[in-house]
């Protein structure tokens, strides 16, 4: 089973040209389960739905409850923003968790293909670690309340580096977990190299003058019987231009998970 997590950068930059590049990356990745952040929706048009139709996938979407800051930056008050899940299999159930914090962020859950799958987007300010800690506590409870035989898979843009308080709290590996007994392993632990997903080689990132960092994640519960849910491979994608167009300001993370 192949899992992908990617922040699509809403409708910022040359978003119409980026749409083709995004689709090309996702088509090449050929993932079974996809967690997307900064997905746009307007009237009857939804970016997740458009991508799903092209790739033959099922989908679910959860708009943020406070899109105004995005709309002010994008200059269009009619466009929503949210998280989405795309799946090779029908989505049997879904749920949305509103996360604490002023930005109106959320987390989306789908049970699909026998997998409890989640995607989330945490608050962005550099000094918002305390808010993100509260958000990962809520997210961990959300995950723990949906147990299944397959280990949970949690994707998302956490806007925080791996050794931050919020990531250590969420994984529960280097400090006490947010929910007793819930451990979520960062899939990149199985990879070589730093794996920055906010990478200053990307001109969209270079324009912010901020350092490269790994802020996008796939977390998986400890493997079950016979290695169910084990991480076999992990890498980046969407980390170079497609026909001269960078698809997003973030690179995507792809993991192959045993089932």
d(CA 170, CA 165): 9
Q: 142: helix, coil or strand?
A: helix
Tokens standing for 68? 């105004």
pLDDT confidence of residue 77: 85
| Cβ(236)–Cβ(212) below 8 Å | no
pLDDT confidence of residue 213: 95
Eight-state DSSP code of residue 188:
G
pLDDT tens digit at each of 259 positions of the chain:
999 999 999 999 999 999 999 999 999 999 999 999 999 999 889 999 999 999 999 999 999 998 888 888 877 888 999 999 999 999 999 999 999 998 899 999 999 999 999 999 999 999 999 999 999 999 999 999 998 999 999 999 999 999 999 999 999 999 999 999 999 999 999 998 789 999 999 999 999 999 999 999 999 999 988 889 999 999 999 999 999 999 999 999 999 999 7
Reported as a single tens digit per residue, the pLDDT across 201-219 is: 999 999 999 999 999 999 9
State the Rg of the chain over Cα.
17
Structural domains for the chain: 2-257 (3.60.10.10)
Provide the H-helix boundaries in the chain.
15-29, 47-55, 68-74, 129-144, 165-171, 203-206
d(CA 199, CA 172): 26
Residues ≥6 apart with Cβ < 8 Å to 85: 33, 34, 35, 36, 48, 59, 60, 91, 94, 108, 110, 112, 117, 119
d(CA 64, CA 101): 12
d(CA 187, CA 43): 36
pLDDT confidence of residue 233: 95
Q: 63: helix, coil or strand?
A: strand
Q: Please tell me the pTM assigned to this model.
A: 0.96
């Amino acid at each position: 089973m192949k899992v992908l997590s990617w922040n699509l950068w809403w409708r910022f930059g040359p978003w119409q040209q980026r749409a083709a590049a995004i689709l090309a990356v996702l088509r090449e990745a050929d993932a079974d389960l996809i967690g997307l952040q900064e997905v746009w929706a307007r009237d009857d048009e939804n970016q997740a739905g458009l991508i799903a139709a092209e790739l033959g996938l099922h989908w679910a979407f959860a708009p943020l409850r406070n899109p105004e800051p995005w709309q002010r930056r994008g200059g269009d008050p009619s466009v929503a923003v949210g998280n989405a899940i795309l799946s090779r299999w029908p989505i049997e159930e879904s749920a949305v968790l509103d996360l604490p914090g002023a930005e109106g962020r959320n987390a989306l859950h789908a049970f699909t293909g026998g997998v409890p799958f989640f995607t989330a987007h945490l608050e962005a300010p550099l000094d918002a670690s305390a808010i993100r800690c509260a958000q990962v506590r809520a997210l961990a409870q959300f995950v723990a309340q949906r147990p299944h035989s397959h280990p949970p898979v949690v994707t998302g843009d956490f806007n925080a580096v791996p050794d931050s308080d919020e990531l250590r709290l969420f994984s529960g590996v280097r400090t006490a977990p947010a929910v007793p007994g819930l451990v979520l392993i960062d899939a990149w632990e199985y990879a070589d190299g730093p794996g920055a997903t906010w990478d200053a080689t990307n001109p969209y990132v270079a324009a912010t003058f901020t350092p490269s960092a790994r802020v996008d994640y796939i977390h998986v519960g400890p493997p079950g019987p016979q290695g169910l849910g084990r991480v076999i491979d992990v890498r980046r994608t969407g980390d170079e231009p497609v026909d001269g167009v960078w698809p997003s300001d973030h690179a995507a993370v792809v993991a192959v998970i045993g089932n």
